[in-house]
Structure 1
Amino acid sequence: MSIRAAYIEKMKLQLDELNTTMDELQSKAGTTKIELQEKYLKEMASLREQSQGALDRLDELKTSGEDSWKSMVMETEKVRDAFVKSFHYFKSQL
């Protein structure tokens, strides 16, 4: 497996794990008070947007040429890191 393929597989696995955890957290939203539930769902929607942005960047990375791949890796990691940071902050607030 090439370094590129291994990188893409690792990034996809990380994003999939975070999305699975978000699904589990979202299922718990029904047990909270209405005021908290609205805030929770709003934050969850924002996280879903960040997650989709990271997945979109990963798709771009998959199809990028060798000449632009290295710079796209850095950009993709920034998007992923922002999503992970937001996710962990959100999770810590529960």
Structure 2
Amino acid sequence: MLIYTAAPDSEGTLGGLVSLGEPEQLRRHLLSALRGAHLCASDPLCAEGLPGQQGMTLHGAACHACLFAPETSCERGNKYLDRSTLVETVECPDLAFFEVE
């Protein structure tokens, strides 16, 4: 997991990032991210995505609206992403690793 800040304020300093790594703060931010991944603006189409057999589409429930990062910043080129493996989605409610209340 990568924690970063995009704003140059007090939370962007080394001390600010260290405080974000404290268990309660980290838990709060992780749960917020997982809740946000539950639905995508492109659902149900995004959630129904299946990795292709020919290697053309190597991601499941992932698209530009929810998980894709700019290709230059993603070491794997946005391949092998699937939010169904993390949280419940419309298509795969039983596959999720995390239970988010």
Asked if Structure 1 and Structure 2 have the same fold, meaning a TM-score greater than 0.5 normalized by the shorter chain, the answer is no
The structure carrying a bigger helix percent of its residues is: 1
The higher-RCO structure (CA 8 Å, 6+ apart) is 1
Q: What TM-score do you get using the length of structure 2 for normalisation? A: 0.28
Q: What TM-score do you get using the length of structure 1 for normalisation? A: 0.29
